[in-house]
Structure 1
Amino acid sequence: SLLSLFSFRKRKKSVEQEASPSLFSRIPLIRDPNKETPFFSNVAVKKDYFFKEEEKEVENNIEKKENQESIQWKLPPADLLKTPPLPSALQMSLQESKGDAERLKRKLEQFSISGEIANIRSGPVITVFEFKPEDHVKVARITQMEDDLMIALKSRSIRIIAPIPGRDVVGIETAHTKRQMVYLKDMIKDPLFWQSEQPLPLVLGRHVDGRPAIKDLEKLPHLMVAGSTGSGKSVFVISFLLSLLFRHTPETLRLLLVDPKQVDLSVFAGLPHLLTPPVRESKEAVVALQWCLSEMYKRYRSLARFHVRDLVSFNEKTKKLKEEERQTHQDFTESLGEDSEELYYFSPQPYICVVLEEFGDLMSSPDRNRIETLVVRLAQMARACGIHLILSMQSPRKDVVTGLIKTNIPGRMSFKVSSRIDSRIILDEGGAERLLSQGDMLYLGPGQARPERYHGSFVKETEVLSVVQFWKRQAKTDFCLIKNGGEEGILHRNNEEISLEQDDNKYKEVFHYVSELKEVSASHLQRKYGLGYPRAARLIDRLEEEGVVGPARGSKPREVLVPK
């Protein structure tokens, strides 16, 4: 089938390592495995992202590493990120807090709302006053006081939590006149980030009282993010991906980035963790998601084969396989044939994080229905096998965040949005429309009754490029090859396009060659013409459609039907 064909080349490793299946052993290589020279050159590693004085050194280092038996990965140091300045006195002082507390209490008493300020929590961006109303006070009245309290405290923004879940107090959050920046480096150096029980740390930033806020994407297991322009949504997605690069090598994590605007995620071009260059078109996104679905099913077959329930248990079990057991699995999978639906893995597999930036644009494309179906299916089933989705959008409209998508993605996050309606769509309640810009967010995790407020960490583009550059020095990109569904006859190959006219010329040549044979296969054409598997398979399908070759016969070559 020409549907969702990816080709994947393993990095140069020892003979023993090459004997074990790669992440995509189901998919044939796009080069002749008998040849020593790789099909890929240093593709899609744009020189714009190299520091010119280091470019030659980087290429030499990569060449040396490829000649070694295996790549000894090194994790990037936190020093690649900007060192935060010394903490300044931006947090509200105790005296200022007490003054605001008194004004707050007097204003509420003017409306016959009596009580006391039970606690004050001050953080880098906001201060939370915990107001304990007297027994006769109706809590619903306090929620109607937002505008009046903004005037009384001269605050840019006020948000009321009535009540704080699990407590007998009402939270009144007020913004500082000056805010303190939250830096990603502080989050990376925090011990909470390096806890082993959090394999995919989701760095949110800081709590309202300044404590680090780090969740585990594996437990979410998927996340939906919304935020208008300037809210800090894109910076959060970038900082989250960057934080993963501090914990994972390309052998433990792979990324699939879909960026229709071709702006926000372009800084990650050339990263060894990428499965493909950032996907730009909706048709390519469909193919990428179809591949993810196929990969999910193969991983489930692998889990069933080894009698485990999740990827962590599978990786632990396959690491302990003896060489004889591994060879037995390899011989069996090779006997099934490269297109068999019974193939499975028997070596540790990495997590796969799929980021769909500007999801609203994808849902506005002609491929909307196919994208929604694939996203819902992945959200329903992909958790156990280590595939996680991040959906990012500017406006969470109902036609974008459909009922099925919302039901199957329990982790939701909203930065500042334009209206209360948008806030209710993403969080099931208002409040996100009153947030500040630049990283102020509300997070609603699985099982939470009310969203929590956090302040996202900031990272500069130069810091991102420094970390990406660190990984580029260790290995070349190891891309999959995306075929654009065959509908328009375009195959993206090392960032080049093969048109229908070129395929027609190649087809004529292949037709005359095949006519002299008794049987033929896609791999035969690959070796003969140096083609990638997707293009060779497409030519075989066309030969079948025109009656030149017979139907597929499992792992056997196809019979040639035309006379010599």
Structure 2
Amino acid sequence: MFNVSKQCLTNKRSNAYKLSEINTQTLHSILESRFIAEGVYSLNTLYVYGVAESYLITPSFDKYSYEYMDIECGSVSDSPVNVIQLKLKQSSMFPLDTLNCSDLLSNLSNFTQSPFICQVLFTKKKGNWRENQIQMYETYLKGVDDPESSKLFRKLQTGVVGVLNKIGGFSSKSPIAEVEEKILRPNYIVEIRFGLFLEGFQQEFSSFLTKITKNSSLFNHFEPILMNTLEGNQLMSTNSLSSDNQNQLLSDQELFALLLNNPLTDVVNVKPPIAVANPTIQSSLSSFLSVMPKTDASESPMDSTIPTQINKVFKRVGITKFSLKVVESFQGSSLHKTQFEIPSTILYSQFTKKMKDIQSALGSESVGIEMGSKPDTVDVFTPLQNRGTLLFRNVLESAEFEEFKSKSELPFVIGEKATGGYQFACLAALRHLMVTGATGSGKSVSVNLIILSLLLNVPPEELVLYLIDPKMVEFSLFDGFPQVKEIITDMDEAESLLANIVVEMEKRYSTLSSASCKNIKTYNEKNPDSKMPYLVVVIDEYADLQMTHSNVEDHIVRLGQKARAAGIHLIISTQRPSVDIMTGVIKANLPSTLCYRLKTSADYKTVFGKTVPFALLGRGDGVAVIEGQIKEFERFQSPILTEDEKDEDRIYQELKNMFKGVESAEVLLEENQPVAPLDRLKSLIANGGIKPIAEIQKEMGIGINLVSDLMKSLVEEGFLGREGRKYIVVATEDELKNWRGQDEKRLDHECMGTGLG
């Protein structure tokens, strides 16, 4: 292994080998070494007036069949008097020419004014470097010419470009295929430096380097830089990579074209761990954003008359005799927020008591009043007469979402908060999610964009989706995404899937227990090369499924109680939140809810246990109750993908095309072994005695006629008997004990691993 310090990256111990020449085979053998990411490799060539002598320095644990050299690091006895290094002029995201070769190592022999040594040091880049490169590329596409490698500085660059965009100074840039190809290939930290042994030739040698590397210039190029002699000698004598060059990356193609006379033309099958905002794509890394419409960044004009109207209403309903001071205003896509300062003579309760009067005076039940974010203030929300459009792309491109997704495993977009700014959530942190809303409320659009958020922001190898679609139309657009393993429209298959997911949950708990991990996050941190993928199940209309298969509630409850730690999450939507569908047990296990417009106030009470103090507008106007949320109700406007419904199919198809050839995670679900109805009935009777047939029917989730037939079968078996019109238990105590034991074993299996939750 190598040592990392503030000064350099170097091997603890090294081997040195003499090379007859450095050719394609030599470079291939080094780059394909299984240790290439575990140490520093150095190709050293000593040039003495046209004669070259080459040797290879490797980590001590990587052996080669070349002639071994018994010298420390393959160093030379004399120290160079001048040290020059080649540095990329622009960010290493921008590629060199990979088709026209510079043949650097051979052409260096043409410099005969002074003896010198050339060192080419490299190690394969590890970690999430592609994520950073992709984000830099995104910043470039937004109009930044040379994005910084630092996320903080990129954010500043993006902010400046955003301001200039508003005044027409900058424009977005076109995708560059060569950049995308470089990001998808293996990349190496590379440092190239030269030590001259005679004084006075550094300027001439620098000009010589510029000339022989000219063929490499494309979107980037090298420039010679004179190093501090003491530092340069220290690095050269130890064959160490400078910490200053940790972000100087070259692809395998660039290395071949720069050093040798043979370009690397083979297609390397790389499975890049693309994270956050971009899937691994074949057609374009400019990503999904380019196929989505977006609105003009300029804000719509603020309606300055609204605060005046509200002050008139306050006077009219008797809250105040004078106009309240306006602290601030915000106008979103559907609501206008005005924050007023409350004098000490007025209480907040006076506003809430007059709510209906205020709504009536302003002509809308959708007017809302909340405590302000500052002391002694109140926020008033009024619906806009001409609602604006909030597009999905605008939210995804926001700096807020970029920051949020960098810290989230399963990020998704909720919408624009009525108080200003955007609201997001991480499904991994929420456990599970309930989405409710009547027809036309925006519920289905919201669920689709939550799914799309996950597809486009979670690495394909870390996400598996199962979609249950009773209506057979809502999720058809997702057919073809590699992460979507199945879209189930048959309710019998849906019930079986949920049962199998429960089995998968138990299997995962067993894996976590064996690895001494409490949850999927710690497991994946310990096993970065064999991560356990997140598994998300989305049910479009839970009421339809529950009405036909009442026992699915048992599966939902079990998953709701403990599936989160195993990386399994539920998104359940319904447009009929009746008490028999959204039972207390279901709500207790799905505590986070997005609620859109419902038909009656009773429906809101079923969802939240109380009514919402304003009427939602429909078309994406919703309230969020999220675990850990400070406010009781966070009102928001959800985005839409496009205003043109006909354009939706095109967008989804282009996104699916981008995912073609992308490898995704696989989860092999084991079949849940169902308990035979007769055996289950015996277990129920052994544990709880004989109950009324209607109660047994409800508990087993089967028809009354079938229950009657099963009871008759138990009589025929001698497990039950008849006493007049009643059933009685005639089974022996040993038989009953056995069936109680069977049930206990079943429960033990179901509850396995709860200590890890």
The bucket for the TM-score relative to the shorter chain is 0.5 to 0.7
Distance 2:603 2:368 in 1: 17
Please state if 1:196 is matched with 2:379: no
Alignment of 1:147-226 (within 5 A): 147-155=356-364, 157-161=366-370, 163-164=371-372, 168-194=376-402, 195-226=405-436
Give the conservation status (yes or no) of the 8 Å contact 1:226–1:413: yes
Q: Deviations over 1:48-101 (max 9, x none)?
A: xxxxxxxxxxxxxxxxxxx986655715614344232314653533x3244234
**Farther-moved stretch of structure 1 (122-131 vs 290-299):** 122-131
SS at match of 1:401: coil
608, 619, 624: which one aligns with 1:427: 608
**Farther-moved stretch of structure 1 (259-268 vs 111-120):** 111-120
560, 565, 572: which one aligns with 1:391: 572
Residue in 2 that maps onto 1:348: 531
Give the conservation status (yes or no) of the 8 Å contact 2:415–2:423: yes
Q: 1:474 to 1:447 in 2, by over 3 A?
A: closer
441, 453, 465: which one aligns with 2:635: 453
Q: 1:287 to 1:164 in 2, by over 3 A?
A: farther
Q: Which has the larger radius of gyration?
A: 2
Distance 2:322 2:601 in 1: 26
- Structure 1 residue 387 displacement after superposition: 0.7
Residue in 1 that maps onto 2:477: 267
Q: 1:317 to 1:110 in 2, by over 3 A?
A: closer
Please state if 1:127 is matched with 2:333: no
Give the conservation status (yes or no) of the 8 Å contact 1:78–1:189: no
Let me know the Cα RMSD of the aligned residues: 3.2
Q: Deviations over 1:460-495 (max 9, x none)?
A: 4232332233224546997978989899xxxxxxxx
Q: Which amino acid aligns with 2:401?
A: F
- Structure 1 residue 214 displacement after superposition: 1.4
517, 521, 533: which one aligns with 1:312: 521
Give the conservation status (yes or no) of the 8 Å contact 1:92–1:176: no
Please state if 1:74 is matched with 2:283: no
Please state if 1:96 is matched with 2:305: yes
Distance 2:301 2:365 in 1: 16
424, 427, 440: which one aligns with 1:230: 440
Q: 1:456 to 1:382 in 2, by over 3 A?
A: same
Give the conservation status (yes or no) of the 8 Å contact 2:465–2:537: yes
Q: 1:84 to 1:172 in 2, by over 3 A?
A: same
Q: 1:293 to 1:84 in 2, by over 3 A?
A: same
Alignment of 1:113-124 (within 5 A): 116-124=325-333
- Structure 1 residue 142 displacement after superposition: 2.4
Residue in 2 that maps onto 1:243: 453
Q: Which amino acid aligns with 2:495?
A: V
Distance 1:183 1:85 in 2: 7
- Structure 1 residue 353 displacement after superposition: 1.0
Q: 1:98 to 1:130 in 2, by over 3 A?
A: closer
Sequence identity, in percent? 28
Distance 2:296 2:526 in 1: 47
Q: 1:97 to 1:201 in 2, by over 3 A?
A: same
* Unmatched segments (≥5 aa) in structure 2: 1-33, 35-266, 273-278, 643-647, 676-757
Distance 2:578 2:305 in 1: 41
Q: Which amino acid aligns with 2:533?
A: P
Residue in 1 that maps onto 2:658: 470
Give the conservation status (yes or no) of the 8 Å contact 2:288–2:655: no
Please state if 1:443 is matched with 2:624: yes
Higher fraction of strand? 2
Residue in 1 that maps onto 2:171: none
- Structure 1 residue 181 displacement after superposition: 0.8
Residue in 1 that maps onto 2:111: none
345, 361, 365: which one aligns with 2:544: 361
Give the conservation status (yes or no) of the 8 Å contact 2:542–2:574: yes
Q: 1:483 to 1:303 in 2, by over 3 A?
A: closer
Distance 2:665 2:464 in 1: 11
Give the conservation status (yes or no) of the 8 Å contact 1:123–1:208: yes
Q: 1:137 to 1:156 in 2, by over 3 A?
A: closer
Distance 2:570 2:352 in 1: 35
- Structure 1 residue 123 displacement after superposition: 1.9
- Structure 1 residue 133 displacement after superposition: 4.3
SS at match of 1:260: coil
Q: 1:481 to 1:305 in 2, by over 3 A?
A: closer
Distance 2:636 2:564 in 1: 25
Distance 1:197 1:457 in 2: 22
Q: 1:86 to 1:288 in 2, by over 3 A?
A: same
Give the conservation status (yes or no) of the 8 Å contact 1:414–1:427: no
| TM-score between the two structures when normalised by the length of structure 1 | 0.63
Distance 1:135 1:364 in 2: 54
Please state if 1:407 is matched with 2:588: yes
Residue in 1 that maps onto 2:560: 379
Give the conservation status (yes or no) of the 8 Å contact 2:366–2:614: no
Q: Which amino acid aligns with 1:469?
A: N
Q: Which amino acid aligns with 1:382?
A: A
Distance 2:390 2:593 in 1: 21
- Structure 1 residue 139 displacement after superposition: 4.0
Q: Deviations over 1:241-272 (max 9, x none)?
A: 11112122331101010110011111111221
Distance 2:462 2:602 in 1: 40
Q: Which amino acid aligns with 1:74?
A: T
Residue in 2 that maps onto 1:254: 464
- Structure 1 residue 313 displacement after superposition: 1.4
- Structure 1 residue 134 displacement after superposition: 4.6
SS at match of 1:215: strand
Q: Which amino acid aligns with 1:183?
A: L
SS at match of 2:459: coil
Q: Which amino acid aligns with 1:457?
A: P
Give the conservation status (yes or no) of the 8 Å contact 2:500–2:669: no
Give the conservation status (yes or no) of the 8 Å contact 1:78–1:185: no
SS at match of 1:246: helix
| TM-score between the two structures when normalised by the length of structure 2 | 0.48
Give the conservation status (yes or no) of the 8 Å contact 2:337–2:381: yes
- Structure 1 residue 304 displacement after superposition: 1.3
Q: Which amino acid aligns with 1:305?
A: S
Q: 1:393 to 1:224 in 2, by over 3 A?
A: same
Distance 1:436 1:456 in 2: 12
- Structure 1 residue 164 displacement after superposition: 5.0
Q: Which amino acid aligns with 2:500?
A: W
* Unmatched segments (≥5 aa) in structure 1: 1-15, 17-66, 321-346, 488-564
- Structure 1 residue 153 displacement after superposition: 3.2
Residue in 2 that maps onto 1:303: 512
Residue in 2 that maps onto 1:33: none
**Farther-moved stretch of structure 1 (145-154 vs 476-485):** 476-485
Give the conservation status (yes or no) of the 8 Å contact 1:423–1:433: no
Residue in 2 that maps onto 1:293: 502
Distance 1:383 1:169 in 2: 39
